[in-house]
A and B are shown apart, each in its own frame.
Chain A
Amino acid sequence: MSRYFDEMNGKGEGLREPYARIQNWLKGLGPDQVHKALGDAEAIFRKQGITFAVYGSGEASERLIPFDIVPRVFAAQEWRRLSLGIEQRVRALNAFLHDIYHRQEIIRAGRIPREAIINNAAFVPEMMGLDPARGIYSHIIGIDIVRTGDNDFHVLEDNCRTPSGVSYMLEDREAMMYLFPQLFAQQRVAPVEHYPVMLRSTLESVAPPACKGEPVIVLLTPGIHNSAFFEHAFLADEMGVELCEGNDLFVSDGWLYMRTTQEPKKVDVVYRRIDDAYLDPLTFRPDSALGVPGIFDVYRAGRVTLVNAPGTGLADDKAIYSYIPDVVEFYTGERPLLKNVPTWRCAEADSLAYVLDHLAELVVKEVHGSGGYGMLVGPTSSKAEIEAFRAKLKANARNYIAQPTLALSTVPTFAAQGLAPRHVDLRPFVLSGDKIRITPGGLTRVALKEGSLVVNSSQGGGTKDTWVLED
């Protein structure tokens, strides 16, 4: 019996139902066909221009994210259950943000220490008392979920700022439908292609009160040097909205405008993919050349909606993460349906002592890090790496949290030697506006290195198409 839960074969007890047709298909797939499909897939992605930038690697900085042709499959029933947990969590995260930026009842109630919020770098005091349209702060959330068993799902991270990766989800599906149309004829797979339409509806539904008529929406990008620029251009194009850089927008007489070849056009909703700090030099970093001076003031006055709101990073902060089960209970009055990963806060002396004693078994992360940078994966690290990390951890303990290494589920994946189990996670994309819309499936990331548990594309991860079967 395997130590890991394989989504096709369980823990060795045999084929799981959702993968029945996939297994048949794989049996009939010769090595030549596999080789050709992988080559075709790469050509498709190259043609689409889907690359991402890797920071800190010496060689070429633009890479293709490897794509694996074996889909990751959920049964309709499995997905329904998971969706309930996702929706509950997303509602709670938005309620939490509303509370923190108003009366801070959760602090008064003693459920989260004041210090964890007030001096948190992701807390934006300029947001206090502001009432965003429909009371929603994080309109687009990408929740990273890992599976450890048939019914065991854990949230690894709530990405509430500007989660990326949805373009890979869409392109993966398009590639699969092009390469293997017969698979989609054999069974009904819930469509994901309408994500841009859902996103647009969500953005329209949160137009500010000052907007009369059809809202004008733009996507604000930091520009071509951003690692996710391809996705910004892709989504703007798919939604039929303008892709803007900071210089394309300006504030005049208290309204936000976009430059056009004719008259300037008033803008109502800004889907911004610029970090809080760079959004507006008048309120945040004064040296930012990427943002729009005054855009925050116009937002504050209720004349434009920023998506996501500034300050939403508080809800996905790694120092806050361990409190999220309490957050869910506090705002929904229900037991959390999705589990957290047990987390040691290294800021607390007892926890730190435990973590230092068990570094070889744990994953240690920077509180404000992302993308898999600056973390220690104990079980796969050398003694020297662990000792080097120990010194860093001791020097600045409050900057770290630690978690057990989870037995992430695997899905069969084509490796050099043929089909082999590889660890995966899942990032479903959740939209909050007039209602909550969840993409069926999401982005499955796969750690392509044998035994690796790090799925980040910046650390050699790939992606898979994710299927939710329909009844």
Chain B
Amino acid sequence: MSAPSLRVDFGKFQLRNPLLAASGAFGYGAEYREFIDNATIGGFVTKSVTPQPRRGNPHPRVAETPAGMLNSIGLENLGIDHFLAHEWPEVLKEPCVPILSVAAYSPDEYVEMCAKAQAAGGVQAIEVNLSCPNVKEGGRTFGADPGAVEAILRRCRQETDAFLIAKLTPNADPVAIAQGAEAGGADGLSLINTLLGMGIDVERRRPLLAMGMGGLSGPAVKPVALAMVYRVCRSTSLPVIGIGGIATWQDVVEFLLAGARAVQVGTALFSNPLALAEMIDGITDYCVRHGHDSVEELIGALSEGDLITEGKYEK
């Protein structure tokens, strides 16, 4: 028997394998060069780019929690104009699918960035990071409002022919948000972003993060992410990228079985830069052991049997 194929279809893309490096954990694609060969992974998502340069948040910006980490980096970056002029040409040279992540503080800014990306050329896929506070609406996260998500995606859709992926926050009902994104014209979904979290140093009586609260990621969030991916996959026809605490090949298989067509790995890279390579080996071996010619056969292949239907969870 020949080696199983790890190729997966994801919308208009055929990915080398379902493993992508997640936004915020992988810089602009070159930073892990001494540890990770980008010709072996499906792709990566850039650190989010914003309309204007941002210096980021005060320090500390990261803290460790049981099986997880909190971060409040604050979207430090040089702004989209600088990015498209200087970093993007280098990103395009990477031998896998690069996905541009954009984050903004008003609907107009999302639209402006999609237009600039379109004008720059070569941007095949955009992940819309919807987890920023909407400064014009009292700071409420765009991503928590299905109507706002739909409106942003609809306007972005008009500005670019890039494949638009809406990145969903777990700090809201993901099914409703997914439906908003789909109605607005998203081509795909990725979830979950980080969960709002906090840690306190009891001796100093101060939060672990300078900003007080931040985003929780890592294995601690994986069951939450898996349940959300499972629910969203059953409620949408869009291809889904599973994200959240994925650290082993078994985690990857779980998300594929739950219905994700690809996964993103972020926090796991910090402790184990070889995690992606180990996952590739692990899912290859899994396919062989289970007699699959293609990893595609795993997608949504959860044996549901007498599984209680979703409605009963909701009560």
A, B assembled together: no
B residues adjacent to A (C-beta < 8 A):
none
A residues adjacent to B (C-beta < 8 A):
none
